Amino acid sequence: MALKDKQFHFIAAGGVGMSALAKFLLEKGCTVTGSDISESKYVKMLKNMGADIKIGQKAENITPDMTVVISSAISEENPELKEARRLNLEVLHRSDMLKLISDDFSDDKDALFFGFSGTHGKTTTSGLCSYVLSKAGKHPSYAVGGFIPEIGDNSKFDSDKIFIAELDESDGTIVKYRPDVNVINNLSYDHPDFYKNGMSDIYKTFKKYIDNTEKDALLIINNDSEGCREFIKYMPERTFVTFGVNDANYTAKNIEFDGFSSKFDIYYKGEFKAQMEMSIPGIHNVYNALAVFAALDLKGFHPENMLEHFKTFSGMGRRFQKVTEFNGIKVYDDYAHHPEEIGTTLKSLSAYKGGRIVAVFQPHRFSRLQSLWSDFLKVFDTVDKIFVTDVFHACEEPIDGVNSERFVKELKHKDKTYVGGDMQAVAEKIYPELKSGDLVITLGAGTVTQVGGILKKISENN
């Protein structure tokens, strides 16, 4: 049965990932319904596009002709999911929905499916690729994990010949996809709740993923990532195209940083290809741009003709995104929640010439904090002041002894503070500590993103 012949019902349709898939289906001409516990900008967006989204989750929202879409966050006790099970309806995980969408491109020999994966950077690389091709008039379809500010969305059905997707490895569902172009940004240990045996489990998952792709599929990988280098050894039967700033097929040389921008030369097998300029900071964004350039170049898009669009890309929502400014204080927000991501983000701030760097860190998941405890303790040395909030549990049960109070006690930093409570309480405690010239960076995948907006409101009321 074709996608257009089905009615898709999204439980918790207002989530950023779920709303992206629902939006894509609406643009493709499918019938979409859904529910959520409250109104949100994503719910309003779907309603404005013609989706029937109910506020409140009830069994009566489910009808016998639906295909129900859920995420891992939906409990089996959810009344709508229970009713779908009772009616023996088709229930798709969010990853299965993305697979159905991507299969239309994988099965078409004239179409191109770009898949971006890895522990870090997949949102930015998939978003950058979508942005560049969109601005260049190539009409890509895409589904990525964050909003592209200049375009204003994170998914779009535009063309049935190009599809770009962020592929998530966190729960192993990456093995479901079959891209024509596979970009692996880096590999390091994360998601200890799923990968119980560390990197060996990650390598097994990625091997299964690559094994599912066609033998002539492009495999593009970061040769400067230790995990990626080991993975190449893990799959000697496949050929990889490498990128990096050291020994690689595509290399970035003569890198210059100027404030929060960068400039570098790109070489392919020793031959000069182009000079790249980026308006976002950090060496990690050099890697991100290099990965996208390689993918486009290898597929004949001549990215040297698209360099102006690389330069105008301002980053993804919640990826070093400027949130607000007040009283001479700048507030940025970043989704970084793994020690490597945090370290990379903070390193990119070394070019800041103003006052202090003030970090507000919300640990994400007890299991991640426990497994990477010592690594987290090492990454905040470059900031002038750090506030640590309570752990964002993400539906996990607390782990004895794994908490922010203990973390702050063990943190070897001259200016550290534990701030408990919700984000309103956190912002109220932080506000009196700030002064003109400070750059505040909120770090985490949870509710810490709210802090910048709350600080701004507090400033307006003082």
Asked if 391 and 446 count as a contact pair (C-beta separation under 8 A), the reply is no
pLDDT of residue 1: 53
Q: Which of 369, 371, 414, 376 is nearest to 390 (CA)?
A: 369
- Give the pair of three-digit tokens for residue 79: 């009344």
User: CA 273, CA 270: separation in Å to the nearest integer?
Assistant: 9
Tell me how far apart the alpha carbons of residues 325 and 323 are, in angstroms, rounded to a whole number. Answer: 7
Where do the structural domains in the chain lie, given as residue ranges? 3-94, 108-312, 321-460
From residue 18, alpha-carbon distances to 25, 74, 112 in Å are 11, 12, 23
251: helix, coil or strand? strand
pLDDT of res. 211: 96
pLDDT of amino acid 451? 96
CATH number of 108-312: 3.40.1190.10
The pLDDT value recorded for residue 133 is: 96
CATH fold, domain 321-460, is Protein-Tyrosine Phosphatase; Chain A (3.90.190)
Q: Give yes or no on whether 108-312 and 321-460 have one common fold.
A: no
Closest by Cα among 291, 245, 301, 252 to 275? 252
What 3-state class would DSSP assign to 146? strand
Q: Which amino acid is at 149?
A: P
Q: Are 226 and 184 in contact (CB under 8 A)?
A: no
Give the separation between CA 233 and CA 215, rounded to whole angstroms. 17
**Could you tell me the fold of the domain covering 3-94?**
Rossmann fold (3.40.50)
Query: For residues 268 and 240, what is the distance between their CA atoms, to the nearest angstrom?
Result: 14
pLDDT of residue 87: 97
Neighbours of 291 (CB within 10 A): 28
Q: Give me 291's structure tokens.
A: 């990965």
Q: What is the pLDDT along the chain (462 residues), one digit of tens a residue?
A: 578 778 999 999 988 889 999 999 999 999 999 999 888 888 999 999 999 999 999 999 999 999 999 988 899 999 999 999 999 999 999 999 999 999 999 999 999 999 999 988 899 999 999 999 999 999 999 999 888 878 888 899 998 999 999 999 988 999 999 999 999 999 998 888 888 899 999 999 999 999 999 999 999 999 999 999 999 999 999 999 999 998 999 999 999 988 788 999 999 999 999 999 998 888 989 999 999 999 999 999 988 789 999 999 987 777 778 889 999 999 999 888 889 889 888 988 877 878 899 999 999 999 999 999 999 999 999 999 999 999 999 778 999 999 999 999 999 998 999 999 999 999 999 999 999 999 999 999 889 999 999 999 999 998
Contact 438, 455 (CB under 8 A): no
Handedness of CA 269, 121, 125, 150 (dihedral sign): negative
Give burial (CB, 10 Å; 0-12/13-18/19+) of 460: exposed
Strands (E), 249-312: 250-258, 261-268, 271-278
* Residue pair 122/115 in contact by the 8 Å Cβ criterion: no
